[in-house]
A and B are shown apart, each in its own frame.
Chain A
Amino acid sequence: MNSRITDRIATGVFYTIAAIMVALLLYLFYFILSNGLPQVTWDFLTSPSSSYQAGGGIRDQLFNSLYILVITMIITVPLGVCGGIYMAEYAKPGKITNFIRTCIEMLASLPSIVVGLFGLLIFVNITGWGYTIIGGALALTIFNIPVMVRVTEDAIRSVPKEQKEASLALGITRWHTIKTVLLPYAFPGILTGAILASGRVFGEAAALLYTAGLSTPTLDYGNWNPFAENSPLNIFRPAETLAVHIWSVNTQGLIPDVREVANGASAVLVIAVLLFNILARWLGSVIHKKLTAGK
Chain B
Amino acid sequence: MNYTADRPMETKTEKEIAPSERKASKREVVLDVKDLSIFYGNKEAVKSANMGIEKNAVTALIGPSGCGKSTFIRSINRMNDLIPSSRAEGEIIYEGINILRDDINVVALRSEIGMVFQKPNPFPKSIYNNITHALKYNGQKNKKVLDQIVEESLRKAALWDEVKDRLHQSAMSLSGGQQQRLCIARTLAMEPQILLLDEPASALDPVSNSKIEELILQLKEDYSIVIVTHNMSQASRVSDKTAFFLNGDIVEYDDTKKIFTNPSEARTEEYISGRFG
Contacts and interface: CB of A to CB of B under 8 A. Distances in A.
Interface of A: 92-93, 160, 162-173, 176, 180-181, 184-185, 291-295
A293 B84 contact: no
Interface string B115-127: 1010101111000
Contact of A171 (B107, B121, B183): B107
Contact of A294 (B109, B133, B172, B186): B172
Given A160-B121, A291-B124, A168 B172 contact: no
B108 interface: yes
Contacts of B122: 166
9 nearest A-B pairs in the assembled complex, by CB-CB distance:
A171-B111, A294-B173, A162-B121, A171-B110, A170-B134, A169-B115, A166-B121, A294-B170, A291-B124
A172 B121 contact: no
Contacts of B111: 170-171
20 contacts: A160-B121, A162-B117, A166-B123, A167-B123, A169-B110, A169-B114, A169-B117, A169-B187, A170-B110, A170-B114, A170-B134, A170-B187, A171-B110, A171-B134, A172-B107, A176-B137, A181-B123, A185-B124, A292-B172, A294-B172
Contacts of B117: 162, 165-166, 169
B79 interface: yes
Nearest to A164: B82
Secondary structure dominating the interface of A = helix
Contacts of A292: 124, 172
A180 B135 CA distance: 13
A158 to B, nearest CB: 14
Contacts of A172: 107, 110, 133-134, 137
Q: Which of A163, A171, A172 has the most CB of B within 10 A?
A: A171
Interface in B170-193: 170, 172-173, 183, 186-187, 190
B12 to A, nearest CB: 32
A166 B77 CA distance: 12
Contacts, number: 76
Contacts of B84: 92-93
B264 interface: no
A190 B137 CA distance: 24
B140 interface: no
A292 to B, nearest CB: 6
B236 to A, nearest CB: 27
Contacts of B77: 169
B234 interface: no
Contacts of B134: 167, 170-172
B190 A170 contact: yes
B183 A166 contact: yes
A171 B109 contact: yes
A173 B172 contact: no
B262 interface: no
Interface string B20-36: 00000000000000000
B191 to A, nearest CB: 11
Given A170-B110, A171-B134, A165 B183 contact: no
A180 B183 contact: no
A276 B88 CA distance: 51
Contacts of A92: 84
A291 to B, nearest CB: 5
B270 to A, nearest CB: 33
Given A162-B121, A169-B77, A180 B133 contact: yes
